[in-house]
Amino acid sequence: MEDPGDLVIRVVEVKGRCPAYEAGDTFRIERGFMLNSEKPLCMHSLASLLPYYVALSRRISPKDLGLCREGDEAFLQCLDPCGHTGGGTALFAVRREGAGE
């Protein structure tokens, strides 16, 4: 079986007031399971990634997972319902790189 590739997670947009992220921030999931970030991460964002990170790191198409209409980036959103909490929600683009690319 092919080794999993790294995932690069980029903050595309923030709605409301997010205390953790700004548009353009990035972090990585390396080798299919190792989280790497230069700044603290929000648990809400990790919860939105958990169901998909293994499949995406193993080349399952984001489109087949229902996470995009076209292309090779998956789109996920953090779970904070900002309209009801006064917080913010972040939209993430997730792309795979490495391991045989």
The pTM of the full predicted model, rounded to 2 decimals, is 0.89
Report the distance separating Cα 20 and Cα 12, nearest Å: 14
Q: Edge-to-edge, what's the strand order for the sheet holding 34-36?
A: 34-36, 26-30, 6-16, 88-97, 74-77
Confidence of residue 99 (pLDDT cuts 50, 70, 90): very low
* Section 80-85 average pLDDT: 81
61: which 2 tokens?
């198409």
Integer-rounded Cα Rg, in Å, for the chain is: 13
